[in-house]
Chain A
């Protein structure tokens, strides 16, 4: 769960830096793609051995949504669409907060 949060956080930080136009496009895109890849791996692992509790299915849904958002962010860099990028980044941050809350809850139940 910490890894999932870490990769969503990485995508957020890389996204912020790109929005400020302080990193090369290729670096930002590659880092987002790396985050997407790692998040997919983590999601697969979670599907194989899901955490206990009723929130497990919801967690999978939010992780899948975060992955889609990160993929879209990478595509928006290619399109150089900063306004849409900023909106998508805000939504990713909101997902990160949800994953954090679920992760804390599952951890306390365990």
Chain B
């Protein structure tokens, strides 16, 4: 019974916690600019994430290590320090984007500019971290995030062309605007394959005291939950294609994205979108703050657990306190969260080898995993996807910057 509840909660977490400002912004931009043509990027990212999340859970359940502490133990501190700097910098940008997403949601609801929300939102996130437990953070925001199922209903209500959508699942090149197409594809991959989920999930498996008996449950949660999350992301793209393309709208700002569901749900579309973004960005901000604190604490061998009181967890709590405070600064001075989002997603894709390759080595290490180490399928799928993301990022980011 306990495990059945854990499976349900795990799936709810994966579904409700999948979308956030990065995945929604990139999917909506892709749908508005290129119709169904970038569905393949979401599919590829989702498949890779299923493998990565499954591997993270399996690694912690079998080895009783988190990915971070094993990385430091296996590769030594100098290598770990390089991973720490690269990964934490990108996670920090993601955190700024998520806090900005909450601020923008409140801005469209109230008319008060997002910089004014930077401090209250950061304080609320910090307070939830300070007072909350791992279960509250993992499940609370994700259950609220189930409102994003409205994206699927919206897409279905607009009667998509299933043939064209199926065609979009195969990669292809557009006639013009190749740089923009490449940049959005990279951003979608960065938004889908978010390494913070890998670290968060691995730490969660230790927090929840998983052992080898959890391997089948882990596989089910990763496969089913993340697949459904991918469907939500595809639904956002399809809705954008059907709502924005006939009006000639190419989405560059959050104000434009807010109109996503007003065609499918004339009465509630605007508020459904605002609520979706508010809850999913809140969940992602909590997860990202926690992932950064886990990274430092596990890497430096401090005591860490979201379930311990701050007095027993001083350095862990100090880390997320400082990080959340620092993340509020760019928003306070008015830096556009959407620009931060797009750049952070593209940089996530560019730095994927730094986060994922050491993990792939660990997943093939018999010392940690024994008979449960990776097979060739997992290695090939993750290896090829990371390579594609990295190469696309190397080509598309400079092109997009040069092209403005």
Binding site for B on A (CB under 8 A): 2-3, 5-6, 8-10, 12-14, 16-17, 20, 22-24, 26-27, 30-31, 34, 96, 100
Q: Other than the known A17-B266, A30-B255, what 10 A-B pairs have Cβ atoms closer than 8 Å? A: A3-B250, A13-B247, A13-B262, A14-B255, A16-B262, A17-B270, A24-B111, A26-B110, A27-B258, A34-B253
Q: Return B319 CB to nearest CB of chain A, in Å.
A: 37
Q: Return A89 CB to nearest CB of chain B, in Å.
A: 13
Query: Please, which residue of chain A has its CB at the minimum distance from the CB of B111?
Result: A26
> Which chain A residues lie closer than 8 Å to B266 at the CB level?
17, 20, 22
> Which chain B residues lie closer than 8 Å to A31 at the CB level?
255-256, 258
Give per-residue flags for B106-133: 1 if the beta carbon is below 8 A from chain A beta carbons, else 0: 0011110000000000000000000000
Can you offer 18 A-B residue contacts whose CB atoms are under 8 A?
A3-B250, A5-B248, A9-B247, A10-B259, A13-B259, A13-B263, A17-B259, A17-B262, A20-B266, A20-B267, A22-B269, A22-B270, A24-B110, A24-B111, A27-B111, A30-B255, A31-B258, A34-B255
Considering the chains assembled together, what is the distance between the CA atoms of A7 and B389 in angstroms? 31
> Which chain B residues lie closer than 8 Å to A34 at the CB level?
253, 255
Considering the chains assembled together, what is the distance between the CA atoms of A88 and B243 in angstroms? 22
**Other-chain contact of B259, A14, A26, A100 (Cβ < 8 Å):** A14
> Which chain A residues lie closer than 8 Å to B252 at the CB level?
6
> Which chain B residues lie closer than 8 Å to A27 at the CB level?
108-109, 111, 255, 258, 270
Main secondary structure of the interface of A (DSSP, over half): helix
Main secondary structure of the interface of B (DSSP, over half): loop
B262 close to A6 (CB less than 8 A): no
B247 close to A12 (CB less than 8 A): yes
B249 at the A interface (CB under 8 A): yes
Which 9 residue pairs spanning A and B have beta carbons closest together?
A26-B111, A9-B247, A5-B248, A9-B249, A9-B248, A6-B250, A31-B255, A17-B262, A13-B259
Q: Return A82 CB to nearest CB of chain B, in Å.
A: 15
Considering the chains assembled together, what is the distance between the CA atoms of A20 and B244 in angstroms? 18
B248 close to A96 (CB less than 8 A): yes
B268 at the A interface (CB under 8 A): yes
Q: Return A109 CB to nearest CB of chain B, in Å.
A: 16
> Which chain B residues lie closer than 8 Å to A30 at the CB level?
111, 255
> Which chain A residues lie closer than 8 Å to B263 at the CB level?
13
Query: Please, which residue of chain B has its CB at the minimum distance from the CB of A13?
Result: B259
Query: Please, which residue of chain A has its CB at the minimum distance from the CB of B249?
Result: A9
> Which chain A residues lie closer than 8 Å to B259 at the CB level?
10, 13-14, 17
> Which chain A residues lie closer than 8 Å to B110 at the CB level?
24, 26
Q: Return B337 CB to nearest CB of chain A, in Å.
A: 15
Considering the chains assembled together, what is the distance between the CA atoms of A2 and B258 in angstroms? 20
A2 close to B250 (CB less than 8 A): yes
Considering the chains assembled together, what is the distance between the CA atoms of A14 and B255 in angstroms? 9
> Which chain A residues lie closer than 8 Å to B253 at the CB level?
34
B268 close to A22 (CB less than 8 A): yes
B255 close to A22 (CB less than 8 A): no
Give per-residue flags for B260-296: 1 if the beta carbon is below 8 A from chain A beta carbons, else 0: 0011001111110000000000000000000000000
A10 close to B108 (CB less than 8 A): no
Question: Are A23 and B270 CB-contacts (below 8 A) given A13-B259, A31-B255?
Answer: yes
Query: Please, which residue of chain B has its CB at the minimum distance from the CB of A8?
Result: B248
Q: Return A24 CB to nearest CB of chain B, in Å.
A: 7
User: B228-262: which residues lie under 8 A (CB-CB) from chain A?
Assistant: 243-244, 247-250, 252-253, 255-256, 258-259, 262
Considering the chains assembled together, what is the distance between the CA atoms of A20 and B267 in angstroms? 7
Considering the chains assembled together, what is the distance between the CA atoms of A5 and B247 in angstroms? 8
| Most B C-beta atoms less than 10 A away, residue of A8, A10, A17, A24 | A10
Q: Return B30 CB to nearest CB of chain A, in Å.
A: 15
Considering the chains assembled together, what is the distance between the CA atoms of A27 and B109 in angstroms? 7
Considering the chains assembled together, what is the distance between the CA atoms of A10 and B253 in angstroms? 10
> Which chain A residues lie closer than 8 Å to B262 at the CB level?
13, 16-17, 22-23
Considering the chains assembled together, what is the distance between the CA atoms of A10 and B32 in angstroms? 12
